[in-house]
Amino acid sequence: MFDADTAVERSGDRWRATVSDRWDVGVNPNGGYVLALLLRAVRGSVELPDPLTATAHYLRPPDHGEAMIGVDVVRSGRRFATATAALVQGERERVRAIATFGDLTAAQGPTRIDARPPELPPPDQCHDMTEGRSAESLATMPEIMRRFDVRLPEPLGWPRGERRGVPRLDGWIRFRDGREPDLLSLALFADAFPPPILDVIPAAWVPTLELTVHLRKHPKPGWLRAVFQTRVLRDGLLEEDGELWDADGDLVAMSRQLATVIPAEE
C-alpha cells in the first residue's frame, strides 16, 4: 500500500503523483507521507540511492488526487547529491523540500553512538494503540492509524480525557500489512505517532509546519522502536524530536519538526 501510494511517474521534466487519502490525519494528508512522496521523485532524479537528510516546509495542505512534483538537482557529486522538490496542485505550490542523497552501503568514517533505544516490553506484552477505545472513538480514529500496528507500554489516556502530563511517547511500530521498513518509509514513520503534547493539553489538531528527517542506516526487517518528545511549547509552537531504532537495536532515523497547536475545548 505504501509503495502504491508513493508511486511517481515521469511526465516531461516533472513527476506525476497521486496524493492518497489513506494516510490522512483528519482531512489532510500526513506530512511524513507527503515527504516520502517527494523523496520518491528526488530518488528518480539523482544518481545516488539513499536519502540522508530531508527537510519539508508545508505551505498549505495538499488535496487528494493528482499532483505534479518538480525536482531541481542543485548539485550532483560522487558522494552526495542535493535537490529541491516542490509538490504543485492547481498551479499552487503545496510543499517544498530539500534533500541530500548518498550511498549508506558505501559510507565509511569514525563512528560513536551515545544514544540508546528506549527500554520497552516486547511488543506482545504491550498494548495495541486501539485497545481500550470506545466504538465511537475507533470510528473517528485518523485514517493513517489504520495503516500501522502500534504497541505502547500502557494505553493512551488522552482519548479518554486522562493526561499524564508528560509530552513523551515511546512504543513499537510497523506497517499493518506486513511491509518491512526501508529508508523511504522512515520519513513516514518519523511522523506516524500521535503528537506527545496531547498527553499534556487538549488540541483539535497539531499541523506540521516543517519536518526534518536524518536517515542514518538501512533498517533491518521487523518492528521499529520509537521515541518522540516535546520539550518546549511556546506561543502555540512546539518542537517534536524523534528517534527510530530497528530490530537490531540500531539507530536508523532521527527527526525534528516544528508544529503549531490548534487548541480544543476539554
Residue range 134-181, pLDDT digits in tens:
666 666 778 999 999 999 998 888 777 788 889 999 999 999 999 999
pLDDT at 266: 52
pTM over 0.85: yes
pLDDT of residue 234: 96
Q: Which superfamily does 2-104+120-263 belong to? A: Acyl-CoA thioesterase, double hotdog domain (2.40.160.210)
What rounded mean pLDDT belongs to the chain? 94
With a cut of 80, say whether residue 13 has pLDDT above it. yes
Cα gap 181→64, rounded to integer Å: 24
**Distances, alpha carbon 224 to alpha carbons 10, 29, 144, 245, in Å:** 32, 22, 17, 6
According to DSSP, the β-strands at 224-229 and 168-175 are antiparallel
Q: What is the pLDDT of residue 160?
A: 76
The pLDDT value recorded for residue 135 is 62
Mean pLDDT of 51-75: 97
Grid cell locating 90: 492547481
Q: Using pLDDT thresholds of 50, 70 and 90, give the confidence band for residue 205.
A: confident
Query: How many beta carbons lie within 10 A of that of residue 203, not counting itself?
Result: 18
d(CA 38, CA 45): 11
Interval 103-116 mean pLDDT: 93
> What would the mean pLDDT of 175-192 be, rounded to a whole number?
97
- What pLDDT, on the 0 to 100 scale, is given for residue 132? 60
Among 243, 220, 250, CA closest to 171: 243
Which pLDDT score is estimated for 264?
Answer: 80
Looking at per-residue pLDDT, the higher value among 204 and 245 belongs to 245
Enter the C-alpha cell of residue 74: 542543485
Average pLDDT, integer, range 95-119: 95
- Other CB atoms within a 10 A radius of the CB of residue 260 amount to 14
Residues 6 or more apart whose CB falls under 8 angstroms from that of 260 comprise 206, 207, 209, 236, 237, 238
Q: Which three cell numbers stand for residue 45?
A: 532524479
pLDDT exceeds cutoff 80 at 80: yes
3-state class of 143 per DSSP? helix
The Cα-based distances of 30 to 76, 243, 257 in angstroms read 30, 18, 13
